[in-house]
């Protein structure tokens, strides 16, 4: 075999190695999820979703944890959405290229890389202790809002950047002010991209476990939260709690709860991808 043939062979081998690597992660994910489905699918019924937690595995349900997760998700969206989009608009449309803008930019990029558990420590001291909110739904939601703020800001900026400048110029030419241009032209044109970013950020929030454990969310609460000051649990913490128990029944419960959690995560991701595709077509 001469050199040319050897190089071509190496090229071919790498190509198959590349395909193998691309698929291996996904194949493992499918194997994992298949395993979970086998373990947990038979446990899921209406009672499992509506039952309160219990010491007996077969009587336990996810009602309180699921309601806690929904409460946290809604409050987090309510807090993080306006603040994140506002900050994104400021940075993209108003900020001048000065030192402050540079600092804001480095800072946001850094915040996106801070481990989620550190946000938990921040929430514990500031919201739970200093603001005396206690280990409440509100304290947890505020903590998660800070966590997903950088993601929403970055997504908002990208979406605004993608709006053609001709739209902006036309609006100014008709005598619109800066805010009128943003509110009536830029935001509607970028809404699909912003929405995608927000949904992805929220799907990250619903799977977050560590920061809420640190803030003091409980593994066991007898009732679903009724208002933002109530104590709460969330689905991932309930799963974590069940995994840590030795009895086999709880592993089955954990698998069943994971199926519900994955379902929520994947549906949210699916919706986000749908909006992104629709929006990208519209932009073109």
- For other proteins, the binding residue among 52, 57, 104, 271 (CB under 8 A) is 104
Residue 78 contacts other proteins per CB under 8 A: no
Residues from 193 through 222 that contact other proteins (CB under 8 A): 200, 203-204, 206-210, 213-214, 216, 219
Residue 36 contacts other proteins per CB under 8 A: yes
Give the whole-angstrom CA distance, residue 271 versus residue 275: 6
**CB-based contact 168:181 (threshold 8 Å):** yes
Q: How far is the CB of 18 from other proteins (least distance, A)?
A: 3
Q: Which residue has the tokens 């050897």?
A: 6
- For other proteins, the binding residue among 49, 52, 70, 126 (CB under 8 A) is 126
Stretch that binds other proteins, among 13-21, 53-61, 166-174, 184-192 (CB under 8 A): 13-21
Q: How far is the CB of 227 from other proteins (least distance, A)?
A: 24
Residues from 38 through 57 that contact other proteins (CB under 8 A): 39
Q: How far is the CB of 54 from other proteins (least distance, A)?
A: 20
Q: How far is the CB of 146 from other proteins (least distance, A)?
A: 5
Stretch that binds other proteins, among 87-95, 165-173, 190-198, 221-229 (CB under 8 A): 87-95
Residue 173 contacts other proteins per CB under 8 A: no
Stretch that binds other proteins, among 50-58, 189-197, 222-230, 266-274 (CB under 8 A): 266-274
Q: How far is the CB of 70 from other proteins (least distance, A)?
A: 15
- For other proteins, the binding residue among 41, 59, 78, 107 (CB under 8 A) is 107
């Amino acid at each position: 075999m001469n050199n040319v043939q050897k190089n071509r062979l190496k090229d071919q081998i790498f190509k198959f190695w590349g395909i193998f690597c691309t698929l291996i992660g996904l194949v493992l994910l499918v194997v994992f999820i298949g395993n979970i489905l086998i373990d947990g699918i038979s446990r899921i019924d209406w009672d499992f979703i509506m039952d309160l937690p219990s010491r007996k595995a077969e009587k336990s349900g996810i009602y309180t944890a699921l309601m806690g997760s929904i409460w946290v998700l809604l409050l987090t969206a309510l807090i993080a959405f306006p603040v994140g989009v506002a900050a994104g608009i400021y940075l993209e449309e108003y900020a001048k290229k000065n030192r402050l803008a540079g600092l804001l930019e480095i800072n946001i990029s850094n915040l996106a890389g801070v481990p989620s558990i550190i946000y938990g420590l921040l929430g514990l001291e500031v919201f739970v202790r200093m603001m005396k909110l206690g280990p409440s739904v509100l304290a947890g939601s505020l903590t998660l809002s800070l966590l997903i703020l950088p993601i929403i800001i970055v997504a908002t900026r990208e979406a605004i950047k993608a709006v053609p400048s001709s739209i902006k110029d036309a609006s100014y030419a008709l005598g619109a002010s800066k805010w009128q241009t943003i509110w009536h032209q830029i935001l509607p044109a970028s809404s699909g991209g912003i929405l995608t970013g927000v949904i992805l950020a929220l799907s990250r929030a619903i799977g977050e476990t560590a920061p809420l454990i640190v803030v003091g969310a409980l593994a066991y609460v007898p009732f679903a939260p009724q208002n933002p000051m109530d104590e709460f649990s969330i689905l991932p913490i309930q799963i974590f709690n069940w995994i840590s128990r030795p009895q086999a029944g709880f592993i089955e419960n954990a698998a069943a709860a994971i199926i519900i959690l994955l379902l929520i995560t994947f549906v949210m991701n699916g919706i986000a991808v749908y909006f992104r595709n629709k929006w990208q077509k519209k932009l073109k």
